[in-house]
Amino acid sequence: MPYSFAKSFIEADFDAEKFVKDLSSQCVGAEELRQQRAKIQELSDTTSALLKHNVYQNYIQFIETAKEISHLESEMYQLSQLLSEQRSLLSVLATHRKAGIVLEEDEFLQNNVLDVHSKEKEAKQKLTKLLENVEGAASLVETPGRICLYEGSLLELDPLDGTPLKRIHAYLFNDILMISSWLSNSNKRGPPKFRMQVAYDLKSLAVINVKDLGSIKLALKLLAFPDTRIFQCPTATNKKEWLDKYDQAKKSRISQESSIIINQQQPIIYKQQLVSSSLVSSDSNIVCIENEIEFNEISPDWLLETTEDLDSYIAQRHFEDAYNLFYKAKAFIASNKTSRHLREMEIALNDRAYKLISVITKEMESSADAKSLQGGGLRSARRAVRLLIQLERTAKACQLYLRLCSAALKASIKRVKREGSTVAYVKQVSAIAFSNMAEVAREFLKNFPCYTSCSSALIVWSSNELRLLASHLIKQMFVPQVSLNTLVECIVLIRSHCEQLTQVGTDFYYQWDGHIRTSLSRTLKETGEKFMEAVKIRAAEDFLKPSYFQKPHNLRKILSELDYLGIPMPEYYIKNQYWISITNNTLTFSKMYIGLLEDCLNVATHELINTIEEVLFLVLRVQVHHLQTLLHTSELDRERQLVNDNAKYLYDVVITRTLELHEAVTGYRFTNLLSLQEQLRHESFRIERKLEPTPQTSIPKYSTTEYI
């Protein structure tokens, strides 16, 4: 730290207020305070730079460590493969040695026979103790050489729908698999009791690993004609143990049967056994050598190390290299399927392909579940999607890609802060949402260009995302604090953003309108009720006076506003530069009603047009009723003339403009409003005829007085 006071910052009892107070008391004037502030700022910049440097170094070290761990993982996997191969070779050598053992002395043979008998007796005792709690399994103990390799409880599932059926207890022996059911032991103490159901011979039994799908997880399938049964293991480790022990028992059974056949074909004479064993071993060596020579002749060097290379590529996340090598090996094996070794290698390659699919799938799932989606967006998923499609997992790739898109869209919307006006927030959220959905659609069509089923999945995904977006925006827009004008502005913005989806071949206008239809209809009705209350209040306060403007500028301003709204003021209503023979109530209502009309027509749909017409009619009817009442109750001719002018302006200008805008949007005439217009016009004409002065007829005068 370059300054003396830097050490005080790292003290345990550091108090910021006390430090600032002491520092201020030592300074004289504003200049010294600025110098101290500059020093503290410089210290802050230095500390920030050091912190960034340390973070960068730690990040580099983390990357290097990750690379080393990846290399170490691949090396450990290769060592594991080598150890497994060595173990299999040792087991084969031990089997051949047991088959070729020659007993040279009868005494040694007798000792071995005694040892075998003692081992069989001990194994029989263990087996008896193991099966003493299983009813109906006593006969299984009598088979010589039978040992239990593994046992455990499993849950039997329905083969069709995967629903749990019952608990069972299974015993895996070196020659059979026994299934037993649980007995009720609620009122007794001691170990559980079982009843033997069935015993399957390993020769006619196949145990298959079932992939996790829906409710079926950690399951094994038993195929023993004509039975097909599915059992669920409690843990993944338990499932692996069952599969490993079954493979071990199957291999042991095959090797025992082959050794029995060899022993039956060999004479039980010492010299002949010696000669035959040597011949058999030499023949087997010759056969193995011939097979090995044949395999090496038809197989290139790169094919012999394919499985190890695939494991290394997968461990190092070189997925493209792994797929290219897998495809190359599969093509070679497809053209040379005559060798048994090649068929075995094909099985090993398929296992590596399943592992590659599993690793890619887990990476995409972890990316979708991550809280922060960074590093390239959706384009970074192209690699994984392309590999899954090449590995014939198109449906899985489509599902994971759309799941990743949902997570990315959700993260983008979450980053938008709820600040400022509702219009600004809705505009930002809808712009982000619809632009991302359009980008997803374009990327999706690039990744899945020829898959119609995947295109339908995109439509379903877009529909679900639009539903979630509508649910979120409805909570922001349809609240009492948001006016109808603001709400309409938000809806128009969202519709304009929704047009981006039509550019990629999807139209969601109708679905969006359907999501907001109920809330919008309720808001329109509530707004209409508020407007009617406001019209009634202003009608009660109407003083029946012409509008007076203190300055000519004010008159010109109101006239320009009326012209902009499409309801211009006729010249014969303008008396001079200050007066208009229209009341303030009528002017206010006209501007308010035209604004309501434009807002309603901007969100008009076929489903909402009846609600909109009802709101417009009810609001206008209140004002018309007010004018009709004034026409009948006004006593002075001057007031009646003013009311009549207001009525004429309303039906000649305002209602006519309403009918024009309505017909331009809907395509038909507003019949209810037409009847209201005719009704008001009729009342106005009737009052106007009353106001006309009665003509005075002149009395003729006589020129002479002869008739008087």
pLDDT at 113: 45
pLDDT at 534: 93
pLDDT at 642: 85
pLDDT at 618: 93
Tokens standing for residue 291: 């097979």
Give the phi and the psi of residue 300 in degrees, each rounded to 5. -70, 170
Neighbours of 333 (CB within 10 A): 18
Element (H, E) at 167: strand 164-173
Residue 613 or residue 343, greater confidence: 613
Tokens standing for residue 599: 């807002």
pLDDT at 602: 92
Pure H helices in 316-451: 319-335, 340-369, 382-390, 394-414, 422-447
Neighbours of 5 (CB within 10 A): 14
C-alpha–C-alpha distance, residues 673 and 664, integer Å: 15
Judge whether 246 and 255 are in contact, CB under 8 Å. Answer: no
Residue 652 or residue 139, greater confidence: 652
Strand 194-201 and strand 134-135: the pairing is: parallel
pLDDT at 134: 85
pLDDT at 657: 92
Question: Which pLDDT band holds residue 621 (cuts at 50, 70, 90)?
Answer: very high
The winner for highest mean pLDDT among 41-45, 207-211, 489-493, 541-545 is: 489-493
The DSSP-derived string for 173-238 is ESSEEEEEEE---TT--SS--EEEEEEEEGGG-EEEEEPPBTTB-SEEEEEETTEEEEEE-SSHHH
Question: Which pLDDT band holds residue 620 (cuts at 50, 70, 90)?
Answer: very high
Question: Which pLDDT band holds residue 690 (cuts at 50, 70, 90)?
Answer: low
Tokens standing for residue 325: 């090598």
What's the chain's average pLDDT? 78
110, 263, 617, 662, 673 from 676: Cα distances, Å: 123, 113, 9, 15, 5
Strand 219-224 and strand 134-135: the pairing is: unpaired
Q: Among positive and negative, which fits the CA dihedral 524, 530, 531, 532?
A: positive
The winner for highest mean pLDDT among 226-240, 517-531, 546-560 is: 517-531
Q: Which residues of 98-132 are buried (b: 16+ CB within 10 A; e: fewer)?
A: ebbeeeeeeeeeeeeeeeeeeeeeebbeebeebbe
pLDDT at 309: 81
15, 328, 351, 363, 509 from 323: Cα distances, Å: 62, 8, 13, 16, 43
pLDDT at 597: 93
The DSSP-derived string for 563-628 is HHHT-PPPGGGB-SSSEESS-HHHHHHHHHHHHHHHHHHHT--TTTHHHHHHHHHHHHHHHHHHHH
pLDDT above 90 (res 617): yes
The winner for highest mean pLDDT among 212-216, 314-318, 400-404 is: 400-404
pLDDT at 292: 43
pLDDT above 60 (res 282): no
The mean pLDDT value for 394-408 works out to: 87
Lowest mean pLDDT among 28-37, 112-121, 370-379, 495-504: 370-379
The mean pLDDT value for 294-312 works out to: 67
For the chain, the structural domain boundaries read 6-74, 115-257, 299-361, 370-507, 521-691
Which CATH number fits the domain 521-691, given the four candidates 1.10.3470, 3.30.530, 1.10.357, 2.60.40?
A: 1.10.357
pLDDT at 109: 41
Element (H, E) at 150: strand 148-157
CA triple 215-221-225, angle to 5 deg = 140
Question: Which pLDDT band holds residue 383 (cuts at 50, 70, 90)?
Answer: confident
Tokens standing for residue 565: 């709204």
469, 501, 520 from 424: Cα distances, Å: 16, 21, 20
pLDDT above 60 (res 190): no
Lowest mean pLDDT among 6-20, 231-245, 433-447: 6-20
Which pLDDT tens digit goes with each residue over 119-163? Answer: 667 777 777 777 888 887 777 777 777 888 888 899 998 887 788
The mean pLDDT value for 1-27 works out to: 74
pLDDT at 595: 92
The mean pLDDT value for 26-32 works out to: 79
C-alpha–C-alpha distance, residues 185 and 541, integer Å: 90
Between helices 236-265 and 29-99, what is the axis angle to 10°? 20
Judge whether 627 and 643 are in contact, CB under 8 Å. Answer: yes
Task: Domain 115-257: give its CATH code.
Answer: 2.30.29.30
Whether residue 480 is preceded by a cis peptide bond, meaning omega within 30 degrees of 0, is no
pLDDT above 70 (res 700): no
Strands laid side by side in the 219-224 sheet: 134-135, 194-201, 176-182, 164-173, 148-157, 227-232, 219-224, 206-210
Q: Which residues touch 663 (CB under 8 Å, ≥6 apart)?
A: 669, 670
The proportion of the chain whose per-residue pLDDT surpasses 90, expressed as a percent, equals 10
pLDDT above 70 (res 374): no
Question: Which pLDDT band holds residue 664 (cuts at 50, 70, 90)?
Answer: very high
The mean pLDDT value for 407-419 works out to: 85
